[in-house]
Amino acid sequence: MKIEKKFQPFTVLVNNFGFNKSNSYCLKKISIKLLLFGFFSLSAQDTNSIENIISKLSIEEKIAMCHAQSKFSSSGVPRLGIPELWMSDGPHGIRAEMNWDDWQYANWSNDYVTAFPALTCLAATFNPDLSFEYGINLGEEARYRKKDVLLGPGVNIYRTPLNGRNFEYMGEDPFLAAKMVVPYVRGVQENGVAACVKHFALNNQEQWRGHINVEVSDRALHEIYLPAFKSAIVEGNAWAIMGAYNKFRGQHCCHNKILLNGILKDSWGFDGVVISDWAGTHNTNEAIYNGLDIEMGTPSNKNKSVRFPYDSNFLGNSFLDKIINGEVSERVLNEKVARILKLMFRTSLNKNRPYGNINYESHYKTAYDVATEGVVLLKNSNNLLPIDISKKIRIAVIGENAEKKMSSGGGSSELKVDKEVSPLYGIIKEFNNATIEYAKGYSSDDNQNNRQLKSKAIALAKDADVVLFIGGLNKNSFQDSEASDRKAFKLPYGQPELIKEISKHNKNMAVILISGNAVKTSWKYDVKSIVQSWYLGSEAGNAIASILSGEINPSGKLPFSFPEKLSDNGAHHYGEISYPGKNNSQLYKEDILVGYRWHDTKNIIPSFCFGHGLSYTTFELFDINTNKNKYRLNEKINVACKVRNIGNVEGKEVVQVYVGKENSKVKRPKKELKGFKKVEVNRNEYVEVNINIPVKELAYYDENIASWKIEKGNYIIYIGNSSRAIVKEIKIKIL
């Protein structure tokens, strides 16, 4: 456990600016100037007047603030005590320090952090209170590491299970993502660290992400792909947002006029800073006029002899020349600088922000709580789980993922962790009365003999009382990883065949899937139990073991659907024009029918549905009703129900409320999530649940008027504990 001291030696100050020994010579001068002029020495008059500060800046100084000066920082103005702005990946932990001007790690000794569960797991908790706690803890670690901007959270919608970056996002439903992102943003920013919501927008695949042009209807854009971003901005008051790599309607998203000017800044009133994704900027004029404020990423100047080539970026010298030559008004530059200064007043120039801390026990506790609440029990025939820890049984643990560390790899979100408990270690510690033997079974390393590994695993499984197969995906390329999509829907490395073969010799098998994506589960009838356990971070092994032993009763719910086969997914149904695209462009032909909306409307049965998640106890939903059956536009629909625990152990259940329109004049999904509530219920007791749904949230986006419209008439309220486990339907009318 580490506690930040208020006063630190000068060498630590230099290190905290991200410098290493090889590049610190001229940078120490900058740090000295900051000390001499006062890091937070702006007068009260300057603090209250951004225009006053701007008037003191030269054009060159203002330009420098609009683009990177290193891989993860932009320039300050030392002569005025204006600090640099320091950023860090990523959404579930603070990335290790990088060198100033290349993509190699700086190899510091003080940048070990807590790995929190990936955001798919956070979404699976269906618990906004936990999301706030997650944000608080993550923000504390960012603040300790002297970061001003945290590059997260990610809220791009889960459109295809092949997207390599889905594990960083919050699932397929815009309502769930919106409700979970707001407390995350608020929690991070309580530490004086800006949450930079990403990737705005339509970054729904990694394949061809740098040039694919997305064509999608205005209705799908506003109903499916923008709501989480909008909530993060309007309700969460996020201070920064990151543009996406892809194009939208022919224009790159990092300088897209429709997205950044029209929607984000004009319609939503965003007063923060738009930051480009790294090397996501492609055009000077568009970057100047279409809403981009800070350009980050690989410099345009590839001349390795140039020490600091970032002046060559699109918002660098070319921007400067256009202002000097009178081609661009300085007012355009001032507007960008004003936003940047406002961000600084909220972060690096905020004298009241806390110091932060790192690797606290409370952080590990939060990581554990999120992990255990996010784990989803998909199947549990004959109550194979939980396993009694008091029994002296033989447990065979099989699978590479039982010992594989998952915090490293996966792209920009990889972490250098203070600790990461493996599933195997957690199981050994939890089941200390059992005889536990391990076999790798399969390998992601092509150099290993998978046939030999398979034979050893089968031999071990034959004599075991219980088999725990710990497999799934990993963070290698073409798995769950940035910059590439998965090549296949099925489990890799021969796992399906291995699972089926083991099941012939031992039926008492539980499969624990570690992944951030749905996988093909054609083998699901060969095993008794299936657990979806995500990338759980530092406390992974402890969390998994607690679920397997019943110390924690699972309560996670799937934030996305598991289709039976890839063509059952709406994005893949229409062929390559819809995914991954054709001739550098793709059309979202499934339109608003994403995820369970597609499955339910088309009556395609998924392998496991959105919102699904079992428990070690049994819940009963009863006394379900609405406060009335007719509503006017300014009213709220109150859905009330009681949740009784009729099983033997306490547990948590998620009441889910969906709404559908009868005989709609426009195309609609059969039902859409409009409310949920997670409650804890002791055995033989019940709790009352009330969920309020404003009538205005039943609106659809009418492209004819470019606005939201509520269709009057009859609606159906669906109440249950998953999208396909509906306990009661109630008809209401909107007047």
Q: Which residues are catalytic?
A: 277
Q: Helix 540-549 and helix 361-374: axis angle, to 10°? A: 50
Q: Token digits for 578?
A: 């819809």
What is the DSSP-derived secondary structure letter of residue 277?
P
Q: How would you class 531 by CB atoms within 10 Å of its CB: exposed for 0-12, middle for 13-18, buried for 19 or more? A: buried
**C-alpha to C-alpha distances, 636 to 118, 559, 626, 654, nearest whole angstrom:** 34, 26, 10, 21
CA distance 62 to 639: 53
CB 454 within 8 A of CB 442: yes
Of 462, 360, 401, 389, nearest in space to 138 by CA: 360
CA distance 295 to 318: 13
Q: SS3 for 692-722, per residue?
A: EEEHHHHCEEECCCCEEECCCEEEEEEEECC
Helices (H), 221-329: 227-234, 284-289, 317-324
CB 513 within 8 A of CB 531: yes
CA distance 58 to 91: 35
Residues facing residue 113 across a β-bridge: 417
Q: Please report which helix (H) or strand (E) contains residue 509, including its range.
A: strand 509-514
Helices (H), 265-311: 284-289
**C-alpha to C-alpha distances, 629 to 564, 655, 675, 677, 719, nearest whole angstrom:** 37, 20, 17, 21, 15
CA distance 273 to 254: 12
DSSP labels, 65-128: HTBEEETTEE--BGGGTBPPEEEEE-TTSPPPPBPSSSSSB---SS--B--PPPHHHHHHTT-H
CA distance 44 to 99: 35
Q: How would you class 206 by CB atoms within 10 Å of its CB: exposed for 0-12, middle for 13-18, buried for 19 or more? A: buried
Pairing of strands 357-358, 273-275: unpaired
Give Rg (Cα) of the chain: 26
List of residues 6+ apart from 239 with CB closer than 8 A: 189, 194, 195, 196, 272, 273, 343, 346, 347
Q: Token digits for 200?
A: 């705005």
Q: Helix 317-324 and helix 330-346: axis angle, to 10°? A: 130
Helices (H), 574-690: 596-602
Residues facing residue 694 across a β-bridge: 636
**Coil vs helix vs strand at 138:** helix
**C-alpha to C-alpha distances, 604 to 81, 159, 568, nearest whole angstrom:** 61, 16, 7
